[in-house]
Amino acid sequence: MSLLQIVWKSLRQHAFSTGVTAFSIALAGALLLSVWILQDQTRRTFTGMDAGFDAVLGARGSKLQLVMNSIFHLEESSGNLRLEDFAEIQKNPHVELAVPLALGDNVKGHRVVGTSLELFTRSEYRPGLQHVVEAGGRFFDPNNREAVLGSFAAHKLGLKPGDSIHPSHGLNYAEGHEHEDEYVVVGILKPSNTPADRVVWIPLEGLQLMTGHTEKAAEELSAVLVKLKAGNATAGFLLDQKYNKEGTRLTWAWPIGRIMAQLFDKIGWFDRILELIAGLVAVVAVASVTASTYNSMNERRREIAILRALGARRFTIFSAVVMEATVIATVGMVVGLVFSAGIFAVVGGILRTQVGVILEGWAGHSVLWWGPLVMVSLAALAGTIPAWKACRVDVAQNLSPTS
Amino acid sequence: MLLLNITELQKRFVDPEGKSTCVVDVPRFSIQAGQEVALRGSSGSGKTTFLHLISGILSADSGRITLDGIEMTTLSSSDRDRLRATKIGTIFQTFNLLQGYTCLENVLLGMSFGPGPDRGRARQLLERMGLANRMDYYPRQLSVGQQQRVAVARALANRPKLVLADEPTGNLDTVHAAAALRLVREICREESTALLWVSHDPTMLSQFDERLDFHQLNRACAVSGIAL
């Protein structure tokens, strides 16, 4: 009989405690892996999400709020800027593309964003990828009351081309606040896995001139998405100087990724706490393997004594117990990997619903190999404590049955 | 040929009160290869300790034990384990079968720490013990007599040079005890294995030509006043 067979026999004999211990490792492992992957993926996704633009120009206020409002379609707007500001940035020699955004309405909680067709036709939300309308639809005609819906918004609202919508006033839905204006859905965007999927897009003028909006709204914008010309590294700094340092009326949020990264840096302490909790849970789970194996040594003293009387060396007994702890941790971590994939899917689903971003795949993350390796190694190391106890069992004393 | 030679063997134990007591003090004892020896002794006389010293489970405080030309008292714990696994087979009064293992696995386990598992030999021995149709049974599914026969098969599995039998028939009735002894002797003779049979049962002891009284062998008994 090989050592592995002896270990397998022992684990089967103590199937219940083996199962419970492996389950606790699975839960701890899943928590550890999920925390690690989710915080990394969330950071990467949010800092990498720029909708294909370099900067956002908006009213004076927080850069983060401006980015959240214009790129992620979350948060309130920090204010408006004038049409002349848009014209000025559009003409700036460093600017390749400037796309205006006007916000202020919603369709049953989904933001209505007024913009120009260039958002769809001239910009790439990811390198090489442009927004595309599903078959049977088209982009809106800026001269008509037409709307194009993000895929997620269309799905949630149950709308298809040909249906009509009445935007409601404000960013949050309240019954009875619908505008009189009726928009016809003319297209549904193919899923882009970006916050654009959650938005109802209409022509800029449509939102500006919506019945019930003030006259001032026709001369204002919520923000301008700006793409700088390639090859000019100083353009961003120059505009930062112009708007943020010298000017007092507008905010130049650039570069978008760094602004989001600053947010994550600010809440980095929370990540550390999560990591600490996950780490502590993992340590407790590993300790449970030690405790469970250590306690079982008392009831297995006779078994160990018999093995030793048959010629098993102390090292053989020591190895068997360490291997037992290792096998329990390995089984636990295999189950833990499955659990963590489940947690990732659930959290990913929530993020997609709430923010519209899709996390990258669960597989392929480095923690998926080093996490289990660390846990199994820790369990093997912890297994040396009961293993030491096992190989010190007094053979002569424990060969006779205890009654 | 001399198989086991013991000289001036001593073992002391310290009780919880700190008092040191000599349990085994055997000046001289030997067994020839293939010899059968019966050792008589009452409970508490130190017989089991004596057997544990021979098998290397316990280490002696002083004296020499030479088994098959190897001086055991100078060996490391690990080497004593190896020697025990390859050259000594032990039959315990309480059988000491592992409950989570089948009959066949118990015998194979005995081989694992010695020359290695030999499934054919294990099956052959169990068949010889009349357990051909019980190989996959667990010890709890067997009668006491059958369990004893599994223990005998396990002790003989590695073709040991010496079989130590510590009150092996203490839990059996007279008929089963006689049958167990017959089987052990039969195989030991076939394989030229020496047998040291420890018992306090006169019927069993009378089966042996060579009978020794452990109380006379062990000077510690005289000192402590343990009676026969």
Mean pLDDT, chain A, rounded, equals: 89
Give mean pLDDT, residues B47-61.
92
Which distant-in-sequence residues (6+ apart) come within 8 Å of B134 by Cβ? B103, B126, B141, B142, B146
Q: What is the mean pLDDT of residues A117-122?
A: 93
Of B48, B81, B99, the CB nearest to A313: B81
What is the DSSP secondary structure assignment for residue A62, as one 8-state letter? -
Give B173 or B76, the one with higher predicted confidence. B76
Interchain proximity B81–A309, CB inside 8 Å: no
Nearest CA in chain B to A399: B96
Chain B residue numbers touching A312 (CB-CB < 8 A)? 81, 85, 112-113
Q: What is the mean pLDDT of residues B72-77?
A: 90
Residues 22-51 of A with CB under 8 A from B: none
The SS3 call for residue A32 is helix
CB count in 10 Å sphere of residue B116:
10
- Supply the pLDDT for residue A402: 52
**Average pLDDT over every residue of A66-86:** 89
B223 CA: distance to closest CA in chain A (Å): 23
Whether residue B56 is predicted with pLDDT greater than 70 in this model: the reply is yes
Answer yes or no: are the C-beta atoms of B107 and B95 closer than 8 Å: no
| pLDDT at A176 exceeding the cut of 60 | yes
Q: Which residues pair with A105 in a beta bridge?
A: A112, A169
Residue B225 has pLDDT above 70, yes or no: no
Find the residue in A nearest to B78 (Cα): A313
Give the Cα separation of B63 and A289 in Å (integer): 44
Of the candidate ranges A19-33, A210-224, B123-137, B152-166, the one whose mean pLDDT is the lowest: A210-224
Contact: A308, B82; criterion CB under 8 Å: no
Categorize the per-residue pLDDT at A403 as very low, low, confident or very high, splitting at 50, 70 and 90.
Answer: very low
Average pLDDT over residues A324-336: 95
Chain B contact for A1 (CB, 8 A cutoff): yes
Nearest to B180 by CA among B141, B213, B139, B151: B151
Could you tell me the pLDDT band of residue B223, with boundaries at 50, 70 and 90? low
* pLDDT tens digits for range A261-317: 888 888 888 888 888 998 898 899 889 888 888 888 888 899 999 999 999 999 999
pLDDT one-digit tens code per residue, B62-73:
999 999 999 998
Residue B101's pLDDT is what? 93
Tell me, what's the pLDDT at A262? Answer: 86
For residues A3-15, give the mean pLDDT.
88
Residue at token pair 């068949």: B127
Reply yes or no on whether the pLDDT at B227 is more than 50: no
pLDDT interval class at B222 (50, 70, 90): low
Compute the average pLDDT of residues A364-377.
Answer: 90
Percentage of residues in chain A with pLDDT exceeding 70? 99
Reference B8, options B31, B24, B23, B32; nearest CA is B24
Residue B199, chain A, CB below 8 Å: the answer is no
Average pLDDT over residues A242-248: 91
Residue with tokens 């949010």: A46
Which range, A31-40, B38-47, B152-161, has the best average confidence (pLDDT)?
Answer: B152-161
Burial of B174 (0-12, 13-18, 19+ CB in 10 A): exposed
- What's the pLDDT band for A170 if we cut at 50, 70, 90? confident
**What is the predicted pLDDT for the residue at B190?**
92
- Interchain CB distance below 8 Å, A1 and B108: yes
- The tens digit of pLDDT for each residue in A335-364 reads 999 999 999 999 888 887 777 777 777 777
What amino acid occupies position A320? A
Q: What is the pLDDT of residue A193?
A: 84
Would an 8 Å CB–CB cutoff place A304 in contact with chain B?
A: no
Interface residue of B77, B102, B113 to substitute, partner A, most A CBs within 10 Å: B113
Euclidean distance between CA atoms A294 and A288, whole angstroms: 9
Cα–Cα distance for residue pair A187/A196, rounded to 1 Å: 14
Domain boundaries of chain A, sorted by first residue: 3-47+267-398, 51-254
Within 8 A of B98 by CB-CB distance, chain A residues are 303, 306-307
Q: Nearest chain B residue to A309 by CA: give it.
A: B57
pLDDT score for B114: 87
Alpha carbon of A391: minimum distance to chain B alpha carbons (Å)? 12
User: Taking a C-beta distance cutoff of 8 angstroms, is the pair B165, B38 a contact?
Assistant: no
- The pLDDT-based confidence of B228 (bands split at 50, 70, 90) is very low
pTM score: 0.77
Spell out the SS3 assignment of chain B: CEEEEEEEEEEEEECCCCCEEEEEEEEEEEEECCCEEEEECCCCCCHHHHHHHHHCCCCCCEEEEEECCEEHHHCCHHHHHHHHHHHEEEECCCCCCCCCCCHHHHHHHHHHCCCCCCHHHHHHHHHHCCCHHHCCCCHHHCCHHHHHHHHHHHHHCCCCCEEEEECCCCCCCHHHHHHHHHHHHHHHHHCCCEEEEEECCHHHHCCCCCEEEHHHHCHHHHHHCCCC
ipTM (interface predicted TM): 0.91
pLDDT at B226 over 60: no
Task: Give the integer Cα–Cα distance in Å for B150 and B107.
Answer: 7
The pLDDT of residue A296 is 84
Residue A10 touches chain B, beta carbons under 8 Å: yes
Least confidently predicted of A42-51, A177-186, B2-11: A42-51
- Higher confidence at residue B156 or residue A352? B156
Cα-Cα-Cα-Cα dihedral sign, residues A231, A234, A237, A239: negative
| 3-state SS, residue A131 | coil
| Sheet of B70-71, strand order | B20-32, B2-14, B62-67, B70-71
The answer on pLDDT for A232 being more than 80 is no
Rounded Cα–Cα distance for residues A345 and A195 (Å): 18
Q: What is the percent of chain A where pLDDT is above 90?
A: 57
Confirm if A109 and A233 have CB atoms less than 8 A apart.
Answer: no
pLDDT at B193: 94
Sequence-ordered strand ranges (E) for A238-379: 250-253
Q: Tokens representing A212?
A: 């019930």
Q: Is the pLDDT of residue A400 over 90?
A: no
pLDDT digits (tens, 9 = 90+) for B181-190: 888 999 999 9
Mean pLDDT of chain B: 89
**Of A13, A302, A311, which has the smallest distance from its Cβ to B114's Cβ?**
A311
Q: Which domains does chain B have, with CATH numbers?
A: 2-99+158-224 (3.40.50.300)
pLDDT at residue A364 in the model? 77
Would the CB atoms of A310 and B100 count as touching at under 8 Å?
no
Asked whether B194 and B146 are in contact (CB, 8 A), the reply is: no
Contact (Cβ atoms closer than 8 angstroms) between residue B126 and residue B135: yes
pLDDT the model gives residue B73:
86
